[in-house]
């Protein structure tokens, strides 16, 4: 019996199987930098197509620093103290940290302290972006089709703007990082909803690993740059949350270089589709809800055979979650196809429709099971099979398709993106 350790919650989960034909799909391990702090200082002082950060920020500037929320694994608790040491000329009261929640819920004081560290919480002002509250937003500019975009007021009113982000393959935008830390991370809900409109999500180029010609990424770049961005700090990470590279400076060029590295290390070519794929959502903090777990399922869907079975292990301790209409859309439709018929209907627009659409696009092609903390009945209403034991369910599926059938396992979920050779 073989054991494969899956990333699940904070502690992980062992998959036990005697299947003879297993392909493990995982990123090429890159060791962490031996001196993360020293390499960070070097990256800020010798950035990509930009002047050193310290030279661009004055002591009297109002500085906005945008970080991702708790659903992203960026080591903000390490990066922020190093960043502020480099900006020692700026008084703490001139700096605001903006938690880029997008349309997610705001993070609690305890969560913020865990994200950035107690010293940063005590010393600096931190605001949760609130996409639904116009009082917290200000006009940033207009989209290419003339729609107004509001962003967090402290960002709009800042003299200098810095964004921190983590580069990994992304199921709509091609890759995370770059201007995505600004848009949609600190945009208003109307702009976020339009950005996720059904026709764009359904575009075949709105997918993993594609930057150029990707309509989702094009919106990110266009709308993220409505206001001048002073400096971009992007990192790549390994599965130990160690920093493997810095891509700092100009948001476009630094992002491109980081994406090239991520593609080389985190995307894996496969010769054939598999009738069974086991996946995760990368463990904590990525697998806290089903909304985020669609990413891990989408990673598996890249190599699933038609009518194959995707078996996902994701803790989902935060449920669906509670924000938006994701759960509503899943529960109020009898089939995944019915969800797609609704969201693709001309003129239809609803907050969170995009995640329901992405899940439905997977489920019309493949069957799916989920091992999680979500009540079984709720999982069924989301058109997914509840799974009580991952190892036992895999064994059952292999009895159906044949014990020697090829299966793929993505222990780190969307930290690795497989694709079929064409």
Active site residues: 104, 170
| 39-49 CB burial, b ≥16 within 10 A, e <16 | bbbebbeebbe
Q: Which residue has the tokens 């001048």?
A: 228
Task: Give, for 216, the enclosing helix (H) or strand (E).
Answer: helix 215-224
Q: Label the pairing between strands 160-166 and 63-68.
A: parallel
In degrees and rounded to multiples of 5, residue 142 shows phi and psi of -125, 150
Neighbours of 332 (CB within 10 A): 13
Alpha carbons 400 and 394: distance in angstroms, whole number? 10
Q: How far is CA 280 from CA 15, 170, 293, 330, 406, in A?
A: 11, 15, 8, 21, 18
Instruction: Choose among 178, 175, 185, 153: nearest CA to 164.
Output: 178
Alpha carbons 249 and 252: distance in angstroms, whole number? 9
Alpha carbons 208 and 417: distance in angstroms, whole number? 7
């Amino acid at each position: 019996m073989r054991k494969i350790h899956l990333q699940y919650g904070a502690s992980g989960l062992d998959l036990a199987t005697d299947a003879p034909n297993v392909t493990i799909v995982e990123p090429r391990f890159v060791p962490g930098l031996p001196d993360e702090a020293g390499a960070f200082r070097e990256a800020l002082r010798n950035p990509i197509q930009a002047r050193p950060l310290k030279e661009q920020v004055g002591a009297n500037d109002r500085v906005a620093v945008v970080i991702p929320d708790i659903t992203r694994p960026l080591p903000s608790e390490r990066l922020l103290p190093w960043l502020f040491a480099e900006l020692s000329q700026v008084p703490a009261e001139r700096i605001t940290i903006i938690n880029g929640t997008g349309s997610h819920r705001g993070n609690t004081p305890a969560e913020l302290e865990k994200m950035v560290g107690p010293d940063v919480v005590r010393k600096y002002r931190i605001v949760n972006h609130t996409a639904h509250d116009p009082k917290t937003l200000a006009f940033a500019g207009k989209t290419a089709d003339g729609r107004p975009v509001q962003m967090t007021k402290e960002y709009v009113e800042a003299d200098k703007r810095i964004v921190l982000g983590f580069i990994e393959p992304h199921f709509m935008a091609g890759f995370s990082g770059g201007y995505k830390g600004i848009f949609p991370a600190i945009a208003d809900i109307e702009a976020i909803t339009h950005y996720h409109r059904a026709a764009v999500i359904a575009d075949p180029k709105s997918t993993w690993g594609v930057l150029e010609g990707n309509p989702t990424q094009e919106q990110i770049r266009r709308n993220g740059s409505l206001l001048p961005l002073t400096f971009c700090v992007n990192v790549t990470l390994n599965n130990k949350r160690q920093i493997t590279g810095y891509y700092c400076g100009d948001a476009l060029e630094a992002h491109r270089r980081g994406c090239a590295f991520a593609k080389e290390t985190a995307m894996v070519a496969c010769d054939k589709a598999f009738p069974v794929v086991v996946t995760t959502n990368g463990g904590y903090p990525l697998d806290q809800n089903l909304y985020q777990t669609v990413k891990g399922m989408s990673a598996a869907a890249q190599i699933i055979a038609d009518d194959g079975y995707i078996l996902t292990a994701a803790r989902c301790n935060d449920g669906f979650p509670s924000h938006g209409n994701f759960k509503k859309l899943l529960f109020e439709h009898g089939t995944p196809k019915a969800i797609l018929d609704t969201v693709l209907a001309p003129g239809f627009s609803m907050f969170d429709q995009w995640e329901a659409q992405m899940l439905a696009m997977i489920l019309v092609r493949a069957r799916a099971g989920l091992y999680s903390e979500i009540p079984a009945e709720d999982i069924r209403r989301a058109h997914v099979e509840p799974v009580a034991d991952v190892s036992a369910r895999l064994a059952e599926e292999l009895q159906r398709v044949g014990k020697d059938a090829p299966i793929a396992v993505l222990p780190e979920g969307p930290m690795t993106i497989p694709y079929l050779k064409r």
